[in-house]
Amino acid sequence: MKALLALLAVALLGAGAFWLVTAPGALDPEIARAMAAPGDAGKGEMVFWAGGCSSCHARPDAPTELGGGAALKTPFGVIYAPNISPEGLAHWTPQDFAHAIYDGVDDEGAHLFPAFPYASYRHMSVVDVRDLWAFLRTLPAVKGEAPAPEFGFPFNIRRLVGGWKWLYLPHVAPSQTAVGDVDYGRYLVEGPGHCGECHTPRDPLGGPIADKALTGAPMPDGKGKSPNITPAGLAKWSQDDIETALTLGFKPDGDSLGGAMAEVVRNLGHLPRGDVAAIARYLKSGG
């Protein structure tokens, strides 16, 4: 009987610890205060294109109508991109938006599935997040709501996402100032550009394998594989080759980039050429 009671006590302690560890955390108070200041919608548009927001949240023929609905296939199930137009975010505050970007928590305090690349967006500066919010508020309001995620048990238990975050969400302190030129390419790749979401291999739980960052991986939808975009993988590419691929969609051999990269090229086409050059410089040199 004592052994049974001891086992029950251990189980209860374990359940309590799990409940505490997996609870959605609060937004950092410093970030919350910073989000109260007005953003610059013009600068936010550049963050919008760098972040590829339209690729998941809009139709190809209407890239600024963010009604959502695109099916994002993952090894764990299908999630549908939500409506992030002013209609879909009508009840959100700037702080709610930052909470989603940095912590993967929605306006009702629930975990967001990591098909939304908040693990990468967590590297974004507060200034960029604030400006992005300002830009989103200028876009057309689109009616409609995305379908519920199609995840089977146990992946449909959102509380388990808290455990995933405990294991994999990077512990970074977002800057409140603009990123300097020296590290801007790295910032765009690791932050808004979220290149690692497709180009970094993952373990069986879907967590990125840090020591293999950007070395190529199976695509999240199971169709094909993303290439190695480390300096080793791009050894035969010049910086100009990388810039051409990212702006025009052509590889050095004359072939064109297809699939998800075609959408990336369309998004990057809206950025200043210097931003694309910074990305190419970082990818070629590794920093």
> What is the residue type of 32?
A
Residue 236 in any domain: the answer is no
C-alpha separations of 35 from 73, 105, 129 in Å? 32, 16, 8
**Is 100 domain-assigned?**
yes
Note down the domain range covering 118.
25-179
- The structure's pTM equals 0.90
pLDDT at 204 over 70: yes
**Is the per-residue pLDDT at 80 higher than 70?**
yes
Span 244-253, mean pLDDT? 91
Q: Mind listing the pLDDT tens digit for each residue in 249-275?
A: 998 888 888 888 989 999 999 999 999
Is the pLDDT assigned to residue 27 strictly greater than 80? yes
Share of the chain above pLDDT 90, in %: 63
Q: What is the mean pLDDT of residues 118-125?
A: 94
Question: How many domains are there within the chain?
Answer: 1
Q: What average pLDDT does the structure give for the chain?
A: 88
Q: What is the pLDDT of residue 156?
A: 83
Residue at 285 is within a domain? no
Q: What is the pLDDT of residues 127-163, one digit of tens each?
A: 999 999 999 999 999 998 888 889 888 888 888 889 9
183 compared with 13, residue with greater pLDDT: 183
- Asked if residue 4 belongs to a domain, the reply is no
- Is residue 84 situated within a structural domain? yes
- Give the confidence band of 205 by pLDDT, cuts at 50, 70, 90: confident
User: Picking from 6-15, 93-102, 240-249, 265-274, which range would have the lowest pLDDT averaged per residue?
Assistant: 6-15
55 has a pLDDT exceeding 70: yes
CB atoms within 10 A of CB 18: 15
